Structures are given as C-alpha cells and as structure tokens.
Amino acid sequence: MRKLQYSATALALAALAPFAQSAEPVAFDWFSYRGNDAVFDTPPPAGQFQNPILAGFYPDPSSCRVGDDFYATTSSFAFYPGLPIFHSTDLVNWKQIGHALDRPSQLTGTEGLRSSQAIFAPTIRHHDGVFYLITTSVYGINNFYVTATDPAGPWSDPIPLPWIDGIDPSLFFDEDGRVWLTHNGPPPNNDSLYEGHRAVWLWEIDLETNQPIGEGKIIINGGVDLSQKPVWIEAPHIFKKDGWYYLTCAEGGTSIQHSQVVFRTKSLDEEWVPWDNNPILTQRDLPADRENPIIAAGHADFLELENGDWWATFLAIRPYEGGFYNTGREVYMLPIEWTEDGWPMILEQGKEIPWQLERPDLPLSQEPVPPTTGNFAWRDDFDAPELGYEWMYLRTPQDNWLELKDGQLQITPKNVGLSELKNPSWISRRQQHSTYQAATQFEAPVQGTSAGVAAFIREDYNFYCGIRKTDKGYEAFLEKSEESAPRLVATHKLENLEAGDQVILRIEGEKERISFYLETPDGEILTVARDEDATILTTTRAWSFIGAMMGPYARLESGE
C-alpha cells in the first residue's frame, strides 16, 4: 500500500511546474536519526506495551475500528502531506499507510499561514464501507471532510461544510441511519462570559447534500459546570452503549490544565448530564516535581474491541526539567473501565499515566518500520522511488524542487527563508526524543547556495546549520531565530573544500541543549556551535502547536 499511495503523491508533485530558477541542486546522500531517552531504556516486559504509542508531534488523535483493524490519524497543521493515516491490528504497533491529504489540490491556501495553522483536530470514522475523515483548515477552507473506501487512499477532494462555525468536528452514525455532527463552537448568542468560554454544538447532517437537517443547537455550554468558568470545551465525540448516548470532550485547554470529561443522555433530544466524577482523565492534580511526569492529558477518542473491552487514545506531553518539551504532543493509550452505573473512567484522579502497562487482549503484530516509540536508530538512504511517510514539507509545494535521483535526495534551492510564510526548499521529520542525534551527508554547494540541516518549531524559533561558499571560500555557519529574524551566531572557515566534496553535518540534542558538528572530507570534526539553547524549539518558549522538526535544507543566498 505504501508504494501505491506514495506513488500517487509523487505523481501529484511531479505534475507541478518545474522549478523555474536556474539553480544547481544540492545532493544529500542519507539522513539518520537516533533517539535515546532514559524512560525508554527498559523495554516493556512480555504482555505489556510502551506509552506513548506515537512519539513526537502527533497531536489530537482520533481512531476507529473496522473488524479486526484499527485506524488512527492526527493533526498536521501547515505541513504537507496532511493527516497521517496509521493502521494497527493490536492497538500497540502502528504503521503509517499514507496521508489523507496527499495531493496539492487537496491542501491549498497554506502559503501565508503559520506552521501552527491549517489542519486542526480530525476525526476518523467508518460507516457502510466508507471511511470519513472530518477536520478543519483554520484560516483555510475551514471545516470539510474527505472520504475513501481504502484508508491507504486515494481520499476524495475536500467536501466543504461552510455552515459550521468552529473547530474539532466529529461524525456520529446512529443505529437508525441518522448522522450527527458535533463541534466546538461559539457560546450562546456568541457572547463569551469569560476568556476561553466555548460550547459544543450538535447538528443532524445529510451526507448526500452535505447540508444540515434543521437547526443546530448548543448541547454543552462552557463545560461540566459553567459556574466554574471552564475553558476550551472541544474535541466532542458521541458514542452509544447500552442504550445511552455518551459525549466525551476535552476541557481545560491543551496544556497543563487539560482534561477529559463525559456526559450522557438517553435521547439526543434531551439534556446531556455530566458525570459527578469528572474529569475521567487528567494529570493536573499531580505534583509538578514528580519524576518523569506525563502532563496535559486529554483530547481522547474511544475504541470498543470485539470482546467488549474499551480503550482510549489521547494526547499528552512528556516534559523534561523546567517544563520544556521539544517532542510536541504525543499519542498515549489507556483502558477504559466502566462503573456499575454505566460511566466510563480512563484514569482515576490522582493516578499517574503509566509508561508501561498490560497490552490489549489482541494478537500481537509486528513492530513497524520505522518505529513509532521507544529508543531506536533509523536511516534513510534516499534509494527508494518515493519519499517515506515520515518526511513532510512545510506548506504545500507550488513547484517541484525535490527529486530522488541516483540514490540521492536532490534539492533545488529556493530563495525562501524559514521565517517566510512560503514553502522553503526543506523537508523534515519529527524529533521523537529529548536526547537524540541526527546527521546527514551532502555535497558542498556551489557559490550562491547554502545547504545543511534546519531544526524548526516556528517561523521565528529555529536553527539553520550549514555550509556555503563566499568570496573568501567555504564556511560553516549557524543561524538562530529566537523570537526574531534569523541572526548569525557562529561561522568557521573551511580550508581546502571544493564544490561537490562530501561533508557530514551532525546535530546532537540533549534536552535543553543542542550542538552542531561538521565532519570534513579529510575526517576532521569541527564544532560549529556547542550547547546552544534548545528550549527555543519547545512549545513552552515558542507557543507552537507542533513539535520540533528537522531535516535537509538548501537555500539560495541572494537576497538573504
């Protein structure tokens, strides 16, 4: 499935106009990544699994079951391809099988948007042989859905739902054939009583006309208890069990106050009643100084297994000292326990999310390649016909500046910096560990071009380490953006380097520190910069919805 799906992506990109500027491409031979976090040092014993199940920038998870198969997706914001699709048969080992938005025509209008805008909080569902994936393109076409009969693709072009005012849409297919849509939306009369005051809306929808049936209505105002001024009620999902309709939502905002709450009703025409023991998942009541904390848990989706067991997938964060985290919001999983009076509990208040716990009662499947959690080493030799699913562009490319040729990744440089709201000649993969090493081998570029590796979390929070030829010869350099335009923080003259010579650039990250090294053709290892501040690649500093991303970058130097 991977080859067919990504061949479609490659063909779609190949159909773009060839890059017009007469620049010589830069050839990258390979890119490697190795993660080594202490929390992953001890593999889970037999019969257990490791949290998170998807490490790195995979926020706002949604999942569904189809027979013996499970599928999941997450937010992708302004990165392309959008909406990764994962498959599993045991809920533990997840293999990416494609993207729902893998054609430029499906994800338009990303130029001019920031990296944390565009595709928010999807929901994936299956009904009568069709997969539905509904989401919001913030500052784009707003709410829409796409469909497919094969989750590996192809997925349809976006079907817009312009009448929805809000984010986080979700579909519920009732047993009587009616289809319902929930979403986060404005409070009554669009009159916010306090900052973060939102509501959950319910609509009946006709998927033949894509129009609402009747008027929508607010079913949750503010949250569990409006008098307590709850904030950011969102990610509403409806489920049905034993004659009850259940509505589960995130509440508290996607940070340290995050939580999951639940309501229920016997009829969609009646009032939704919150559970007295809400929240059903949170870590906000635990000591901040506990060892190896997992925080900000919420935005859950529910799965029922064939045997009647229930599980929740949700996002959470694993910070290091100081509350910093470069890995973004990740996907975790816990079992759901049902009380005797029919309420779901993911985790009792006061309990810590376990790093390792008993696996679901499902046959064990093979671990995915590349791995999605734990400590691992990975390398891309760029010898496949298409890029692997782990690679992403920042914004949808408008021209074809990348080519896999002769066992190399060849990037034709553009005069686009990382601070611009355009598509730079840069591809990236997620940082999935707090302690890691990333490296690439590439050819020294011709004069007028720089090449190297960029580490990025926001347009004004990033690093670019590379080499370039000036009138005085080649130099290694490091640029840093810290709530600012890029500034040069280090340069080193490179003797006896010629265009086309092979160099290796290596990044070493250890929590709040990041260092950059360059190996020259004669084997000399040069320290470009050591112990730079890696907290600029964290949400804590940059306030970004993504996690740190890194990968090969080439740039025309004229005009920089």
Q: Above 60 in pLDDT, residue 21? A: no
Q: Above 90 in pLDDT, residue 9? A: no
The pLDDT assigned to 18 comes to 58
Looking at residue 92, the DSSP 8-state letter turns out to be: S
Task: Express each pLDDT in 433-449 by its tens digit.
Answer: 999 999 999 999 999 99
Residue among 101, 32, 77, 84 nearest 552 (CA): 32
d(CA 8, CA 103): 8
Domain assignments of the chain as residue spans, ordered by start: 57-358, 376-556
Q: Where does the pLDDT of residue 484 fall: very low under 50, low under 70, confident under 90, or very high at 90 and above?
A: confident
Q: What is the CATH number of domain 57-358?
A: 2.115.10.20
Residue among 33, 34, 59 nearest 325 (CA): 59
The Cβ-side half-sphere exposure at 251, using a 13 Å CA radius, reads: 26
Q: Above 70 in pLDDT, residue 16? A: no
Q: Where does the pLDDT of residue 10 fall: very low under 50, low under 70, confident under 90, or very high at 90 and above?
A: low
3-state DSSP of 202-257: EEEEECCCCEEEEEEEEEEECCCCHHHCCCCCEEEEEEEECCEEEEEEEECCCCCC
d(CA 297, CA 315): 6
Residue among 492, 380, 391, 503 nearest 445 (CA): 503
Task: Express each pLDDT in 339-381 by its tens digit.
Answer: 999 999 999 999 999 999 999 999 999 989 899 999 999 999 9
Judging by beta carbons within 10 Å of its beta carbon (0-12, 13-18, 19+), is residue 81 exposed, middle or buried?
buried
The pLDDT assigned to 167 comes to 98
The pLDDT assigned to 4 comes to 37
DSSP 42-78: SPPPTTEEES-SB-SS--S-EEEEETTEEEEE---BT
- Would you state the structure tokens that stand for residue 311, as one six-digit string? 């599980």
- Would you state the structure tokens that stand for residue 409, as one six-digit string? 């990744």
Q: What is the CATH number of domain 376-556?
A: 2.60.120.200
Q: Above 80 in pLDDT, residue 7? A: no
Catalytic residues: 60, 234
* 317-343 average pLDDT score: 98
d(CA 478, CA 462): 11
* 113-121 average pLDDT score: 98
Task: Express each pLDDT in 62-103 by its tens digit.
Answer: 999 999 999 999 999 999 999 999 999 999 999 999 999 999
